Each structure stands twice: as C-alpha cells, then as structure tokens.
Chain A
Amino acid sequence: MNYIKLAIRSLVHYRWINLSVLAGVALTSAILSGALVVGDSVKESLRQNADARIAGLGPVFLGGERYFSDSLATRATKYAGTDGAFASVIQVEGTALNRKGEQRANRVQILGVDERFWKLAPSGMAPKGFEEEGWIGINESLASRIQAGIDETLIVRVELPGALSKDAPLSGESEQTTPFTIQVSDVLGPDYFGLYSLRAEQVPPSTIYVKLSRLQQLLEIPGRANLILADEGVAAEKLEAAVNASWDLDDLQLSVSEIRGEKEKQLASSRVFFDAAIVTALSEVVEVASPVLTYLATSIASRENETPYSMVSGVGSRLNAIVSEDLDEGEIIVSDWLAEDLGIAPGDEVRLTYNVVSAGRVLEENERNFKVAKVLPIGEKGWDQSWTPAFPGIFDVENLDEWEPGIPIDRDRIRDKDDAFWDEYRATPKAFVTLAAAQEMWGNRFGATTAVRFEQEEGGEPLDDALRKHLSLSDLGMVVRDLPAESAAAVANSFDFGALFASMSFFLIIAALVLAALVFVFGIEQRASEIGLLLALGLTKKKVRGIFLIEALFLSVVGALLGLLLGYVYTRLALYGMSGVWKEAAAGIKFVYYLKPETLLIAFFSTVIISLIVVYVASRKVTAIQPGFLISGGDVVSSEKKSKWCWDWFSLSVGFVGGLGCLFVPKLEGTMAEQGLFFGAGFLFTVAGVAFCSLLIRRFLKPSAMMTSLGALGRQHTVRRRGRSLAVIGLMASGVFMVTAINSFRLNGESGAERRGSGTGGFAYFGESTLPIYEDLNSTEAREKYGINDVEVGFSALSFRVSDGDDASCLNLNRAQHPRLLGVATDLISEINPFTFTKVSRPHNSSRPWKLLDRAIENEKERPPVIAGMIDQNTATYALQVGLGDRVSYETVSGASFEVEIVGFLDTSVLQGSLIVSEANFIRFFPDAGGYQLFLLDGASPEELEPLASHLTRMFGDRGLEMRPTFQKLNEFNAVQNTYLSIFSTLGGLGIFLGTLGLAVIVSRNVLERQGQLGVMQAMGFTRKDLAGMVLSEHWFLHVSGVVVGGVSALVAVWPILAKGLSSLPWLLLGGINGAVLLGGLLFCWLAARVVLRGNFMEAIRRE
C-alpha cells in the first residue's frame, strides 16, 4: 500500500464527484487558454495584416516634400550592387469618385509605379496588361468602397505638387487640385501590393495604381519621384548609404548656372526658397558663397511717385559689383530705371511695401523706408534677371497681365511703362538692399535664401560630390524608414487582446473555479470520517492533505489538458464574435487562429496551480478539525459566527441612504460622473438588498406555534445555513448587477453633445479633408470666395493642421509608431476652452488650460527641443501608454529630432488618436506642411448647421472634405468601448449562468445532509413530491431573491441610459443573459433536487 495507490483508488471510487471537479478544472483551463490564445490570434492577425501591408518590402526612402529624380533608384542600385532591389514610386493622396454611382472615396493613395515596383511585389511580376498604355489598377478595398470594377470610370483628384508649399509666400495661384479621369483595368489583391500602406493601421487603404510616366505627366513633374521602395533583403543602413552616395543636385531640385565665366556660379532651387542646411553645406565646400534673397515689393514709392510690383534683391557685398560693403541696412541701391520713374536721387527716401503670408494664407502688408545710397544702370555689371528665382506665376509668364503670384494684383496700377519694363528686363530686380535687411523683411519658415552665388576653383571636385560630404539627405527631411522593423514594433506593442479577453472572462473563470472547488470541498466533506480515520491511524495532517493533493494533482493535470482542447472552441467562438457582432472592437482585421505553445503552457500551469491552491486551502480547513469529531460524523462546516442583527440594519441603512444620496446629488448629464453616481447607487442598493434578505431570513428564526406550510419549514433551513444562504443571494445579486450595470458606462456621443465640456467640445460638426485647405474659414476673403456667407448661418471654425502619421486611437489595434500631430491656434482654442481635462500639468491657469500648449519647456543640454502637447486620456493610456510628463519623439522635416511633452489629458474626446500642439510649434517643425485638414464647426446645433456643412462639402469636395455631426464621429470611438462592455456582459453572463450550476451543487449537498430528516418526514407520510416542493421553495427563494436584488439595482445603475430610450442598451443581450440566469437556476435546482430525492432515505436513517 502506498499513497499513490490510495489516491488512485479514491479517484476511481469517488469518480462522479471527481468527474465534476474535472469538468470544472477543464472549463477553467478552456476559458483561460482560450482567452490567451485570442490574444495570440489577434497579434498574429495583426502581424499577417502588417506583412500583407508591406508585403516583402524592406526599408523605404521618403523624399518628404521633395520630388527627386526617378533615376536615383537606379544609381543607388548600382552603388549598392543589388540588382533590381530598388523601385522609384510617386505616392500622393487624393479622392476618387465613381462616375456611375457617385460614390466618393477620400484618403485614396495614388501610386505611380513601373516594372521595378512589381518585381518587389509577392507576385514578382506586373499584373497582366500593365504594359498597355493607360493601364490603371485599383485595390480591392477601393473597389469595395466605391463599388467599382474593371472598366469602371473614376474621376480622381490630386493636388498638383507645386514648387513650394501653398502656404509659402508667392506660391502662385496655379490650380490647386487637378482632376483626371481613369478607366479601371484591373482590381488588385494582396499579391500585387493590394494592401500596401506605409501607415501602421489595420484598416486596408484605398489605392489607385498608375503607370509612373503617366502620373508624372498628370502631376506635371516629368522624371520625378518621391519614394524609393527597397526589397526586404536590403538593410536600412545599406539603402541610406546608397542614396546618400548617389544623389546629385537635380535630386534636390537644385541647379547651377554660370554667372561670370566658369568660376562664378549661382546655385538656384526650383523650390524657390533654400533650406538653411544647403546654404551651410555649400559655404563649407566653396571658397566664397554669397546668399541672395529676392522678393516682390507691391510698391516702391517716393514722396510723389510710385512704382508698382517690382522685384527687389537682398545681397551681400561679395561676388557682385552692385552692393558694396559700406551699404547700410537702411539703404537701398536703385536702378536708373526706377530712379527716373520715381524722380529720386541718392539721399532721397523711398518706401518699400510688401506682403507676407501668415497662417491661413492671410496676407499682411508691411512697409519699410530706405534711403537711396546709389543709382546704378540696370543691365550692367551683372544687374539682370538671374537674381530672381523662378517664382511660379511670375517668372514663366509672357506679360504682366498673366501674373498670378499668389497675392492680389490690381491690374489698374500696371502702366504701359511697366509692361515695357517687363518686355525688356522681365523679372530683373529694380533695386538692391543688404541681405540682412532682406532676410529681416522676407525671411519665412520656408527659407531666407532664394539663391547662392559662389566661387569654385576651376577643375575642382564636382559640386555634388563635394556637397555630399557635408550634407546628408536626412538634413533635408529625406529619410530612410525601416519598414519591417516599424511594422514589427507596431504589432509587438499592440493592444493586448489576450489580457483583455482573460480579464473579461474573469467571471467565467471564477465561476468555473468556484464550481470545481465547491464540488471538491463537497467531496472532502463527504469523506470527513475518512480523514478522521487516517488521522486517528497516525497519519499526520500533512500526509493526509498530501493524499488529497495527489488526487487533486491528477484531476488538475487531466482537467487542464482537456481544457486546452476545449479552449480551441472558446477561441474560435471569440474570433467569430469579433468578426461579427463585436466587429467594432477590431474593425478591418481578418482574424486567423494562431496559438503559441508557451501560451498553452501558461494556461496549463496557471490552472493546475490555482486548482491545487484551492484544494490545499479546503483540505487544510478539514484536517484542522479534531479527528474524533470527524470520525463521529460531526458537521465539518465550521460553525458560522452568529453575526448580530444590528449589522444587517446598519448595512441596509447605509446602502439605502447612500444609494438615494447618489441618485439625488446634482449631476451633469452625459458625464462620466453621472454614470459613476448611478452605478454607485445601484451597487449600494445591492448591498441594501442583500441586508434586507438577511433580515428576512432572521425573521424565519422566530419561533412560531403554527407551522403553516412545508415551504415555511423549508425556509427554516435557510436560517440554519444562514451564511451559505446569504452567500447564494449575494453571489447571484452581485453577478447579475455587475453584468447588467456595467452597461451604465456605455458612451453616447449625442448625450450632452452641446456642452463645451463634453467629448464633442460643444462643436456641431467635425470635418476632415484629404488634401489641405489653405484658407482660414473664419476670414472674410475665404467666406466670400467660397460663397459661405450665402448660407446665412452664423458659425466659427476651429481648424487644425495635421501631420502625416499613424492613427493612435482605439480604432487602430497596432501600436502607433508615428502618432499624428494636430496643430491648433492656441489663442483661439483657449478662448473657446472646449473639452474637459482629466489631468493637467502644474502650474497652469485653471480657467485656460489650453494655454499650456504655449509653455516653454526647458531643454536639457544637447537634448532635442521639447514642446508641449495635449492628448486624449484613452489614447495616452491604451494606445501610447504614456503618462503626464512623458515625452514622445518625432523627427522634423530637416531630419532633426524633437519631443512632445504631455502636459494635459482630455476626457474621452473627438480628438482622440492624435497629439495636439500649438500651431506655432507645428509650423516650426513642419514648415512645409501647409493648410488645414481637420475642422470643428461651432455656433449652432447640428440641424441648424447642416446646410452649411453640405455647402462646405460641395465647395471643398475636390479636397476630399467630409463633414458630419461631431457626436457621430465621437460615437465611432465610443463604439469600441461599448463593444468591450458588450463582450464583458456576454462573458460575465455566461459566468453567472455557470454559477447557477453551483447552485445545483448546493441543493444536492443540502439534501444529502438532511437525508435522515427527509427519511423521517417520509416515514411521517409526506410524499417525495411534497419533499421536493419543500426543498425547491427554499432554494428558489434564495436564487430569485438574488436575481431580483441584482436586477433591480442594475436598473437603477443604468437609469440615465434607460431615460434616453430603450435602444441605447443591448436589451436582447441583457434580457437573454438575465433570463438564462433566472431560468437556469430554477431548472438546475429542480434537476438536482429530482436526482437526489430519488435516494433511499430509510437507509440514511438506519445509518444514523
């Protein structure tokens, strides 16, 4: 005889109880492993989604705002020695309209590609027909969105890439967007980069594929590209080295022209303004470098005369014969033409008038006076057109009537002599000032130089080669991104669905464990005399517990293993749910089943350990009892401490009064506080309800001369087992309450939407555009230009600049690698003061927390500059996992780094998914990103503003503007949380339903304990049916009391939502859960009573 043998014997002998324990353990293991495997599956789904998105691509080279030569990829390939591994691409954003059905898609990515692109695709080759002239492909996502197929005609709109940003001064009035019509040749799937996107988001993008040459033609940028894609076998460092070693001046849109012989040259940019990094690099490689800044003066006036629209250049004293060292900043050198026109001579004063462009393309007119230092003949000593850069709309026109410089031109001011000047001298400057004076007047975020004149030794190193040693492309915002690494990081740090499902399955896991423990303890208590015997025979308590632990170990291991198999079903059901009824929680993902062996091991060992702990605790309790007591058949349930009735009254009073207090405290509608107070009221009413039931049970204790019914006799038993009875009521009540009342936290964007502090910020409409809108919608000019005033409804617009980046909201399961930045005018938003802050850095102006965005943050030495940013609390906590004071790193267009320090959290708002910074800081670090792409309209209700919203959508349709009521946008985010609540309710409900099985165990146990009693009653003449009725009335009372207390309290908790209308709650789900719990409990009680009451009571009496 040994312990193992004894344990095995016991396992077999008590097999029915052990099978129940096994089932409980298996269920626990199934739920735990199933939930964790959901996490594995979601992660793997995201990984496969990411893999499909980048589909075998390696690092990418981004031109930023520049279009480099499409031959750079070829040169880089040669340098790297990787044949066919690089492809030049144009990638722009636009809108697409299905001509037939009028469906529009915004945020469409348009790719200009050639054969090299397709070599990198999973297919390894171009789609059939690609060689055809006019070939066009769209991806499946776009096809589905606008219901377009092969041969369908689409109208596509893109913004023509200008030489400089539309926000830049003198950017030209050229057509901002251009439409072109295409006919779809093919619909492309994943094998042909159908899911391609550079953003770490799971929702498939909409894409149009055009032949590179054709797109270059349409965008009027022949031979250019803005993206190089590399094969996955290429390391990021290799690509970076290759492009850095291969670029030439043309790639940077730079050109060199001779000024005076081969020695004196001028570097100019088709982007008009120069990056400071280029000027600095050039200064380091040439002997002499002299920057130039030329600008348009709207007027040069003397006391009596005025010359309109003249170019003026700011120059240093070197490399020219016009400006000398002694020219003062307040002095000007005029041409003889100008002197004659204005009737001025050296010593006279002239006034220069010019326009600068501030945010929203608002023109500001400035003036400055100069003293005439010299008058020099135009056309001599190098005074020619070469000083003026190719301003779009100016340089390339035939006559002044065709001028479109991006500022209003009063053509009435243009005289015949001005036309004559243009005919002869074109854009030659009429005057010169010092470089310092020019940069002070006209320097802007796009640059303070329009050309650089330099001297280079004859026969020296070619300029490109020399510049390459001092200028890295990343200095100009042309960067290499390691796409595979970013994609892996986005997935690795993505939202942990495994933990979410495990926590949501909490009730279910607890219920299964409790069930297993209940049955196991039941079994131990049934074997109490056996335990007493073993102790009496001399086995120590430790050895006796050891025997039970061996049994439990066997049951745990087998149960856990079985559960791993069942967990497959749980996972499949969960994934099915997330693809169907719960799809808002994970939009856009195609789920795959995937498990990692280590996950199963975690679930297995966790289940075994927890089960063993439960068994250890239960057996320890019994083995602590004196063996003699156990042998004699004493009741092993420790005698319940008799709590005083006053505690019940105390709980009832506190619960009831507290609950009423929560109900009647003033609260703001639609706030989290309101929801919390109602939830609190419901919880306190649950406590009061259970206390009331306890008092009711005590009432049964009162001796009565009259035993009026068998039911009354049965209820007497609840008194005997008061603790157990209250446990049943309490568990049922709390379970029903939690599962139902959690829905009180459902979010509804429409509730209280007009309040400033709500998630909508009090704004009626929310708008997003695919292409930037440069105008300030609040300005008179914009309202007149777009007929906004005709709509006759007052409004104001809060506009946001938007950086290219990942969506960090709850709609994106991937961890955002480059969260989007929004830039907003601090004064404006501070004045309106929308949204509610949950936390803000100190010190701050409590009435104007938005002012914190202007806060200067002290930089540590040699650390990147730091600016202040606000963020939605949900985004911070769940998506980016950052706290107050934490910093998020970014890169500027010039390749330098900066950090955004979180200074405030917004409560669930419509701005979630992005970091918000001041417009000034945004422009500082993203000078090339012009215009606004996000809008909040204020002023009236959504109904009243609807005509305006429709008008704006029409006016800016070519920019892809989409307007909708703000609460609808907020509800898009809310849907995610609401879906999580539904999942919790469902899983929790299943847990409570499982708990009703525990009720059946309790019924069985109670009956078995009283078999002798029941036998005596049978001997008295009561039928089995009578006895069944007595048992059932006792337990049904407990069960129904618990469900009613929990249900009524839950109704209190969800009252604010109920008041809005029945559709706000998932009635079908909640009704189903609570109905199943109520009926299930009644049914299981009845079944258990029926089975156990079949036993032989006489035998039980005999045994007693």
Chain B
Amino acid sequence: MSDSILELKNISKWYQSNPERKILEGLDLEVGSGERFSIVGPSGCGKSTLLNILGTLDAPSEGEVLLNGRSTGGMNEKTLSGIRARTIGFIFQMHHLLPQCTALENVLVPTLALGKDVNPAEASERAFELLKRVGLGDKCESTPSQLSGGERQRVAVVRALINRPKLLLADEPTGALDEDNAHRLVDLLVELNEAEGLSLIVVTHDMDVAGRVGETRTLKDGKIVLVS
C-alpha cells in the first residue's frame, strides 16, 4: 500500500447526552493513498459518525486522527477548514445542492474556500469539463429543481472533486437513488479512484454497493471487525 494519508488511532466517540453509550470504541483505521474501500454495518452502528471523524467534521472523544502524519487534535477551525477544502471531498446521501445556484455554480462553491489561490477562469473550465465527464455538460445552467435525482447526485460528486482532493468520502451516496442510478454512481466513483488516484471511502448499508466498491470493512460494536 502506498503512503497512508489518513490514520485513526484508538478512536472512541460518545455524546454528552449519553456518555455510557460508546458509538465508536478503540477504533483503528488507516487509509492509504489511492486506496478504496467501503464501510458497512447495521443501522445506528456509527458509520456516519466514523465518516464525519474521518472528514474532520466531528472530533473524537478519545484517540487521534492523523492526516498526512499530522495530528488534527490541536488544529484550529481555520486549519481544519483548509484541510477539508484542499484534501477532502464529501458526497452526502442528500445531495445538498444549493437550490439558488445552477449546476455549474454548485460545483464551483468549494472554490470559494481557496480564496486567492484559485484562478476563477481555470476553475470554471475544470468544472465544465468535470460536468461533461459525468454526462451533464448540457445541464450546466440548470438549477437543482430542473435535474433528476441521479443528475443531482452526479453534480454533488463533481462538486466534491473540483478542488482536486486526495480523499473522497461518500456517506450513503446512493441512498436516494434508484438501482440503475445507484450503480452508475458507484461505477463513477470507482472510475475516479482508478483514474485520479484519489482515495475513496464509501459508507453504505447496501451490500451490493459495497461489493461494487471492492474491499469492505464492517463496523460493529464501535470497531472495524471484519475486512473482506
């Protein structure tokens, strides 16, 4: 395996409202560069929680998260935001596209986080190319209300890629799609992993999706218990 870009060490997570219930307990996980796997588990086992911790959207109650060898524990909000902007791409179950923006504009929203480091013209061109790549070249000016469910989710995928992340995190990305669109989406993600060399983690309860992704890791009782 190539160099690890993300490592979780002895991660535990519980919530203040119910400290006895440990959602994650002593979990270790390593994500190598270009690696691809899915995380499965029963409903309520903490998959989304794990993904949020992986994506620095949430902090663990115990343990350490290392990103490119650096612990995120002492990082401030600005640094973490920068990491998310440059290193991690998110795809959610609900596309969460901004209803007031077009498909192209939605794709470009993450570039706002890069500030002066981005060339607007180049970013626009890249966005357009990516949309074309996923078959939405002619839908650049459409708003989310004018797109189908599958199309919206593909826009969300492209949005996650615009800043050239090293890691793509997808939380139940096919949850709102029909079977056909779901397969197409997963195939797209896999293709991107192979073509772009970015690491991909897909959280899902759908074994079919997990199978398409490849390696599957099972989350149970707060730990990764099985790798297949």
Contacts and interface: CB of A to CB of B under 8 A. Distances in A.
A537 B90 contact: yes
Interface string B39-80: 000000000100010010110000000000000000001100
Nearest to A1103: B94
A533 B108 CA distance: 13
Interface in A1-27: 1-3, 5-6, 9-10, 12-14
B58 A626 contact: yes
Contacts of A1: 101, 105, 108-109, 111-112, 120, 123
B81 interface: yes
B162 to A, nearest CB: 9
B100 A10 contact: yes
B36 interface: no
Contact of A540 (B48, B78, B108): B78
A539 interface: yes
B84 interface: yes
A459 interface: no
A1103 to B, nearest CB: 9
A538 B84 contact: yes
**Main secondary structure on B side of the interface with A:** helix
Contact of A538 (B58, B81, B94): B81
A9 B163 contact: no
B96 A538 contact: no
A444 B86 CA distance: 100
Nearest to A630: B57
Given A538-B81, A539-B81, A540-B78, A3 B100 contact: no
A536 B90 contact: yes
A6 B109 contact: yes
B100 A543 contact: no
A9 B123 CA distance: 20
Contacts of A9: 98, 100-101, 105
B58 A537 contact: no
A535 B48 contact: no
A589 interface: no
B81 A535 contact: yes
Nearest to A626: B58
User: Which of A3, A12, A535, A538 has the most chain B CB atoms closer than 10 A to its own CB?
Assistant: A538
B92 interface: yes
B77 A540 contact: yes
A538 B86 contact: yes
A346 interface: no
Contacts, number: 85
Contacts of A541: 77, 81
B113 interface: yes
A540 B81 contact: yes
A537 B85 CA distance: 6
A614 interface: no
A782 interface: no
A626 B113 CA distance: 18
Nearest to B100: A13
Contacts of B109: 1, 6, 534, 537
A232 interface: no
Contacts of A169: none
A771 B85 CA distance: 90
A2 B114 CA distance: 11
Contact of B100 (A12, A532, A539): A12
Contacts of B108: 1
B110 interface: yes
Contacts of B175: none
Nearest to A538: B85
Interface in B81-97: 81-86, 88, 90, 92, 94, 96
A537 B110 contact: yes
A639 to B, nearest CB: 8
A530 B98 contact: yes
A286 interface: no
A543 B57 contact: no
A710 interface: no
A794 to B, nearest CB: 83
B107 to A, nearest CB: 9
Given A1-B109, A534-B109, A538-B113, A628 B57 contact: yes
Contacts of B58: 626, 628
Contacts of B100: 6, 9-10, 12-14
A675 interface: no
B44 to A, nearest CB: 13
Interface in B10-58: 48, 52, 55, 57-58
Contacts of B90: 536-537
B211 interface: no
A14 B82 CA distance: 29
B48 A632 contact: yes
Scoring B82, B83, B110, B111 by chain A CB atoms within 10 A of each residue's CB, the highest score goes to B110
B135 interface: no
Interface in A520-545: 529-530, 532-541, 543
Interface in A625-666: 626-628, 631-632
Contacts of B99: 13
A537 B114 CA distance: 10
A6 B112 contact: yes
B105 A543 contact: no
A530 B84 CA distance: 16
Contacts of B57: 535-536, 626-628, 631
A1066 to B, nearest CB: 50
B105 A538 contact: no
A398 B10 CA distance: 131
Which of B88, B92, B123 counts the most chain A CB atoms within 10 A? B92
B81 A533 contact: no
A13 to B, nearest CB: 3
Contacts of B88: 538
A1009 B113 CA distance: 31
Interface string B171-203: 000000000000000000000000000000000
A631 B169 CA distance: 14
Contacts of B78: 540
Most central of A1, A3, A5, A14 by chain B CB within 10 Å:
A1
A599 B194 CA distance: 66
Contacts of B52: 626, 628
B81 A2 contact: no
A421 B148 CA distance: 133
Given A9-B105, A12-B100, A14-B100, A538 B110 contact: yes
A539 B110 CA distance: 8
B112 A530 contact: no
A619 to B, nearest CB: 15
A471 B207 CA distance: 116
Interface in A607-630: 626-628
A947 B195 CA distance: 113
Contacts of B83: 538
A8 to B, nearest CB: 9
Contact of B82 (A534, A535, A538): A538
A536 to B, nearest CB: 5
B103 to A, nearest CB: 12
B77 A530 contact: no
Given A1-B108, A13-B99, A536-B90, A543 B84 contact: no
Which A-B residue pairs are the 10 nearest by beta carbons? A538-B85, A13-B100, A538-B113, A1-B108, A538-B84, A628-B52, A9-B100, A628-B57, A537-B110, A540-B81
Given A12-B100, A539-B85, 7 more contacts: A3-B112, A9-B98, A533-B92, A537-B90, A538-B84, A538-B110, A628-B52
28 contacts: A1-B109, A2-B112, A2-B120, A9-B100, A9-B105, A12-B100, A14-B100, A529-B96, A530-B96, A532-B96, A533-B92, A533-B96, A535-B81, A536-B57, A537-B110, A537-B113, A537-B159, A538-B82, A538-B114, A539-B81, A539-B112, A539-B113, A543-B112, A626-B52, A626-B57, A627-B57, A628-B48, A628-B57
Interface of B: 48, 52, 55, 57-58, 77-78, 81-86, 88, 90, 92, 94, 96, 98-101, 105, 108-114, 120, 123, 159, 163
